[in-house]
Amino acid sequence: MCGFAAYFHPGGLPPEAAWLEAAASALAHRGPDEARVHVEPGLGFAFRRLSIVDVAHGSQPLWNEDGTIGIVYNGEVYNHAELRRELAPSGHRFRTESDTECIVHGYEQWGEDCVLRLRGMFAFALWDRPRGRLFCARDRIGIKPLYHTRANGAFVCASEIKALFEFPGVRRAVRLPGVVEHLSLRYSAGPHTLFEGVEKLLPAHHLAVGDRGAAPRRYWQVAYEPKQRIDGTEALGELERRLTESVRMRLMSEVPLGALLSGGVDSSVVVALMSRLLARPVQTFAVGFDAPGPYSELPFARRVAGALGTEHREIVVGAADLERELPSLVWHQDEPVSEPAAIPTYLVSQLARETVTVVLTGEGGDELFAGYPKYAVDPLARLLAALPAGPRDALLKHGADRLPFRFRKLQVVARSARFRLESERFAAWFAGFAGEERDLLLGPALREHAAAGASAFGRVLAESAARRPLDRMLDADLRLWLPDDLLMKMDKMSMAASVEARVPLLDHPLVEWAATLPDRCKLDGLHGKVLLKQLARTLVPREVVDRPKVGFTVPLAPWFRGPLRGLLADTLLSPACLSRGYYDPVRLRAYVDDHVSGRRDRSRELWTLLTLELWHRMFIDRSPARPAAYVPPARLAAGAGS
Burial call 16-44: b when 16+ CB within 10 Å, e when fewer: eeebbebbbebbebbbebebbbbbeebbb
* In a domain? residue 144: yes
Does one domain contain both 263 and 328?
A: yes
* In a domain? residue 277: yes
102 is catalytic: no
* In a domain? residue 415: no
Report how far residue 371's alpha carbon sits from residue 522's, in angstroms, rounded to the nearest whole number: 8
pLDDT at 53 over 70: no
| 158-173 per-position pLDDT tens digit | 999 999 999 999 999 9
**Domain containing residue 233:** 221-372+481-642
pLDDT recorded at residue 455: 83
Q: Check which CATH number belongs to the domain holding 332 and give it.
A: 3.40.50.620
Distance, C-alpha 72 to centroid of its chain:
21
Does one domain contain both 144 and 245?
A: no
Does one domain contain both 357 and 240?
A: yes
| 174-229 per-position pLDDT tens digit | 999 999 999 989 999 999 999 999 999 999 999 999 977 788 999 999 999 999 99
Does one domain contain both 326 and 361?
A: yes
Looking at 184, 218, 252, which one is the last position of a domain? 218
Helix-strand-coil split of the chain, %, nearest 5: 45, 15, 35
* In a domain? residue 188: no
Does one domain contain both 244 and 309?
A: yes
| 265-279 per-position pLDDT tens digit | 999 999 999 999 999
- The DSSP annotation for 344-384 comes to HHHHHHHHHHTT-SEEE--TTHHHHHT-SHHHHHHHHHHHH
Does one domain contain both 115 and 151?
A: yes
Does one domain contain both 112 and 225?
A: no
The strand order across the sheet containing 358-360 reads: 311-317, 283-289, 257-260, 358-360, 500-502
pLDDT recorded at residue 412: 63
Does one domain contain both 241 and 308?
A: yes
Q: Check which CATH number belongs to the domain holding 101 and give it.
A: 3.60.20.10
- 2, 102, 157, 577: which one is catalytic? 2
pLDDT recorded at residue 636: 40
* In a domain? residue 303: yes
pLDDT recorded at residue 635: 40
Does one domain contain both 248 and 287?
A: yes
* In a domain? residue 418: no
pLDDT recorded at residue 432: 80
Does one domain contain both 492 and 352?
A: yes
Q: How many domains does the chain have?
A: 2
**pTM of structure:** 0.93
Does one domain contain both 117 and 231?
A: no
Based on the number of CB atoms within 10 Å of its own CB, is 214 exposed (0-12), middle (13-18) or buried (19 or more)? middle
* In a domain? residue 133: yes
pLDDT recorded at residue 626: 57
| 355-371 per-position pLDDT tens digit | 999 999 999 999 999 99
Does one domain contain both 15 and 163?
A: yes
Report how far residue 94's alpha carbon sits from residue 105's, in angstroms, rounded to the nearest whole number: 8
Mean pLDDT of the chain: 90
| 419-462 per-position pLDDT tens digit | 767 887 888 777 788 777 888 999 999 998 887 777 888 899 99
Report how far residue 113's alpha carbon sits from residue 147's, in angstroms, rounded to the nearest whole number: 21
Percent of the chain with pLDDT over 90: 75
| 66-120 per-position pLDDT tens digit | 999 999 999 999 999 999 999 999 989 898 888 999 999 999 999 999 999 999 9
Report how far residue 425's alpha carbon sits from residue 415's, in angstroms, rounded to the nearest whole number: 8
* Positive or negative: CA dihedral 435, 437, 440, 445: negative
pLDDT recorded at residue 390: 74
* In a domain? residue 438: no
pLDDT recorded at residue 516: 98
